A and B are shown apart, each in its own frame.
Chain A
Amino acid sequence: MSTQKVLMGNHALSWGAVTSRVQVISAYPITPQTQVVELLSEMCTDGTLDAEFIKVESEHSAMAACIGASAAGARTFTATSAQGLALMHEMLHWAVGGRLPVVMGNINRAMAPPWTIWTEQTDSLSQRDTGWLQVYASSNQEVYDSVLMAYKIAENRKVSLPMMIVLDAFFLSHTSENVIMIDQNKADAYLPKYDPEFKLDVKNPHTFGGLTTPDWYMELRYNIQKGMDDSYQVIRDAQSEFKSVFGRDYGMVEEYKCEDADVILVGMATAASTGKESIDILRNKGVKAGLLRIRYFRPFPFEDVRRVLKNAKQILVLDRNLSPGLGGITFQEVKSAMYNEKNKPPIYGFIMGLGGRDITVESITNLFEHAKKNDPQDIIWMEVKK
């Protein structure tokens, strides 16, 4: 029988790093992430994990240290949140340009000012153009499993890109759930040692990040996009192998009662898992409602989104984030995914739950009520004091 542990989301991330046998961890404290690396620092000292822990003087340096370690051929891990992620921004681009498969946990927290520590996705979604793969979790089991898969995907030579595992502040980071632990031998068979194509090596010197003229820069960007294009298949393979070994089934998206649905709600993370409850309530009332939870935001799961949504009569997108001047960020992607489809269902863009305001089962059923009575709009603010 497999072991189970009661883990908060933060510690599910730490244990994911342990199971993946990371070799170098570098981090700086920030609420609500700190517990992730606190546990890891303890494990590095007591010998549970054979890794180096580098505590640095800022998140920018944390990512820089991960980049250095990754370039030297080590499997590296870090975690951060909000302001910390924003401070890393320059280095996020560096990891992508260097094609270094660093894996990072980001706890979604709203950006300041005003100062706040509660959940919102704007921090990680504003890094969507850096070239990091991003997966959004809705349970601690998913957080834990995603770390192992992340290394498998990111380190695949076809991909060679960094990857971010994203989870909601407090709703996951500080909430304890049962997590089925992965047997270490099986994990080692699933995820072999990191074997980079290029690394810093005294016997065979290489350089990362040299100057490039207009003659070659574009080709290197082309290769990054190619890595993203190829990653769809790599992700699918990693997920199906994971399913055959460990029994848990993950897709790029999660579909809930979508096959015959007329109205489909699209969302991410814990708000989307709350939505399942709302779908059940609506189904009991005879509404043909379904839910599509987007797990991968980068690469964006265009195929799955089109396949699931093309027969719907209405699409409702729930965004716990805001791109001021535009609206919800998931809404923007979903709309662009559907633009070239023959059947273009009307799409509603809902903004809700910013700065950690609770999104309840009732608040989600209200979205369906709203769509029943109103025409579609790009930005519909829900539960906001005006």
Chain B
Amino acid sequence: MYNENIFHYLRTNKLPHIWCPGCAHGIITASILRGIDKLKLDKNKTSVISGIGCSGRTPGYLDMNTLHTTHGRSLTFATGIKFANPKLTVIDVMGDGDALAIGGNHFIHACRRNIDITAIIFNNNIYGMTGGQYSPTTPVNAYASTAPYGNVEPPFDIVKLATGAGATFVARGDAFHVALMDKIIEQAISHKGFSVVEIMATCPTQFGRRNKMKEPYQMLDFVANMAVSIKKWNEISEEEKEGKFPVGVFVDETRSEYCESYEENILKKVQRGEK
């Protein structure tokens, strides 16, 4: 898995990063960089955007065109970037609170439009940076600083949400199964249209400590044991599915991409003087 080339895409003078020891964010970032390297993307023609939260730090370490934007709004910035310069490869990294709470509205509309952006959600089930408040993906009964007796709100299923909202590539991976994560991310970046990748991440500091998994390996073990391939998922009983989640590619289809259909259906008509 180790790949020297990823240093080419890092602002090494910004390292070491500020993520906690045992945090999955570094694992996911490296996976994104291996994807970029494998696809031989020109770093000057690649743009990585983020919102706020621990995931928001990611672009700061990447030697590309990067933007660290406001909480929940990164997809709107990314849409502007892609629309202004469709030649750029645009990757938007988000956290679960970022993408689905404060930014939920932007998320579903980006899916609906099918703009060619890759959205990678670092789902650690918690607001890590602000100290462990429950998020829209915190599992029921899990503990959080704002849920000292356990969370009662049902979480979002990101895969189903993105599928329902119209994303044309939807996949889920986890921070333990790195080979699968690499494959999914690479596929997502090369997909034309709006791609959503949910990575089940680990946050030993804010989620793990409150939920009897204070050691980083315990949290990694936890996601590793929960992840079930789609094929196996379709074979097991409902009871066996309890507390687990399927990983793999759920949606991979073609539909007209937003920038292209804007060009075809509006710009060209205007040029031809049609109304």
Please determine whether A29 and B148 come into contact, CB atoms closer than 8 angstroms: no
By a CB distance below 8 angstroms, the chain A residues around B52 are 83, 115
Rounded to whole angstroms, the CA-CA distance of A295 and B191 in the bound complex is: 57
- Please determine whether A45 and B127 come into contact, CB atoms closer than 8 angstroms: no
Q: Quick one: CB contact mask for A103-141 with B, threshold 8 Å, 1 for yes?
A: 000000000110100000000000000000000000000
Selected from A55, A113, A115, the residue in CB contact (under 8 A) with B133 is A55
Say if the beta carbon of A270 comes within 8 Å of chain B.
no
Give Cα A57–Cα B102 distance, bound, in whole angstroms.
5
Name the residue in A34, A37, A46, A113 with the highest tally of chain B Cβ atoms < 10 Å from its Cβ. A34
B85-126 residues at the A interface, CB under 8 angstroms? 97, 101-102, 104
For residue A240, CB closer than 8 A to chain B, the reply is no
Which of chain A's residues 32-59 have a Cβ closer than 8 Å to chain B? Answer: 34-35, 37-38, 41-42, 45-46, 53, 55, 57-58
A243–B101 CA distance with the chains assembled, in angstroms = 44
A297 proximal to B (CB < 8 A): no
A175 within 8 A of B: no
Residue of B130, B136, B149 touching A34 (CB-CB under 8 A): B130
Q: Is A363 an interface residue (CB 8 A)?
A: no
Q: A42-B148, A45-B148, A57-B102 are in contact. Are A29 and B133 (CB under 8 A)?
A: yes
Report the minimum CB–CB distance from B156 to chain A (whole Å): 11
Q: A57-B102, A57-B104 known; A30 and B146 CB under 8 Å?
A: no
Mark the stretch among B66-74, B211-219, B231-239, B264-272 that contacts chain A: B66-74
Q: Report if B145 contacts A (CB, 8 A).
A: yes
CB-CB under 8 A for A38 and B145, given A31-B130, A55-B133, A58-B102: yes
Asked whether any CB of chain A lies closer than 8 Å to the CB of B258, the reply is no
Q: B148 to chain A: which residues have CB within 8 Å?
A: 41-42, 45-46
B101 touches A57 (CB 8 A): yes
Chain A, residue nearest B104 (CB)? A57
Q: What distance in Å separates the Cβ of A191 from its nearest Cβ neighbour in chain B?
A: 27
A28 at interface by CB-CB < 8 Å: yes
B129 at the interface (CB under 8 A from A): yes
In the complex, what's the smallest C-beta–C-beta distance from B52 to chain A, in angstroms?
Answer: 8
Q: Does B207 contact A (CB under 8 A)?
A: no
For chain A, residues 4 to 48, give those with C-beta under 8 angstroms from any C-beta of chain B.
Answer: 28-31, 34-35, 37-38, 41-42, 45-46
With A58-B102, A113-B68 already in contact, the answer to whether A45 and B149 are too (CB < 8 A) is yes
A87 to B70, CA, bound (A): 10
Total interface residues on A, CB under 8 Å, equals: 21
Give the contacting residue for A29; candidates B56, B72, B131, B136; CB below 8 A. B131
The smallest C-beta distance from B57 to any residue of chain A, in angstroms, reads 9
Main secondary structure of the interface of B (DSSP, over half): loop
> Do A38 and B146 touch (CB < 8 A)?
yes
Bound CA–CA A242/B59 (angstroms) = 51
Task: Enumerate chain A residues within 8 angstroms of B68, measured Cβ to Cβ.
Answer: 113, 115
In the complex, how many angstroms separate the beta carbon of B20 from the nearest chain A beta carbon? 15
> How far, in Å, is B248 (CB) from chain A's closest CB?
29
From residue B147, how far is it (CB to closest CB) to chain A in Å? 8
Measured CA separation A38–B269 after assembly (Å)? 55
Interface residues on B, range: 20 to 34
Q: How far in angstroms is the closest Cβ of chain B from A25?
A: 11
Q: List chain A residues, Cβ under 8 A from B145.
A: 34, 38, 41
- The verdict on B194 contacting chain A, using a C-beta distance below 8 Å, is no
Q: How far is the CA of A38 from the CA of B101 in the complex (A)?
A: 18
A311 to B72, CA, bound (A): 52
Give the docked Cα–Cα distance between A9 and B102 (Å): 27
**A34 proximity list for chain B (CB < 8 A):** 130-131, 133, 145
Task: For B56, list chain A residues within 8 Å (CB).
Answer: 115
Assess whether B134 is interfacial by the CB under 8 Å rule: yes
Q: Which residues of A contact B131 (CB under 8 A)?
A: 29, 31, 34-35, 38
Give the residues in chain B near A38, CB-CB below 8 Å.
Answer: 131, 133, 145-146
**Closest residue of chain A to B146, judged by CB?**
A41
Contact B104 A37 (CB under 8 A): no
Contact A28–B146 (Cβ < 8 Å): no
Cα-based distance from A65 to B102 in the complex (angstroms): 15
Residues of B close to A45: CB separation below 8 A: 148-149
Among residues of A, the one whose C-beta sits closest to the C-beta of B131 is A34
| Chain A residues at the B interface, C-beta cutoff of 8 Å | 28-31, 34-35, 37-38, 41-42, 45-46, 53, 55, 57-58, 83, 87, 112-113, 115
A-B pairs, top 9 by smallest CB distance, nearest first, are: A29-B130, A57-B101, A58-B102, A41-B146, A29-B133, A34-B130, A38-B145, A29-B127, A42-B148
Other CB < 8 Å A-B pairs besides A38-B145, A46-B148, 4 of them? A28-B102, A37-B146, A53-B146, A115-B56
Q: Which residues of B contact A (CB under 8 A)?
A: 52, 56, 68, 70-72, 97, 101-102, 104, 127, 129-131, 133-134, 136, 145-149
Task: Give 29 pairs: A residue, B residue, CB < 8 Å, sorted on A.
Answer: A29-B130, A29-B131, A29-B133, A29-B146, A30-B71, A30-B130, A31-B130, A31-B131, A34-B130, A34-B133, A34-B145, A35-B131, A37-B146, A38-B131, A38-B145, A41-B146, A41-B147, A41-B148, A45-B149, A46-B148, A53-B146, A55-B146, A57-B101, A58-B72, A58-B102, A83-B70, A83-B71, A115-B56, A115-B68
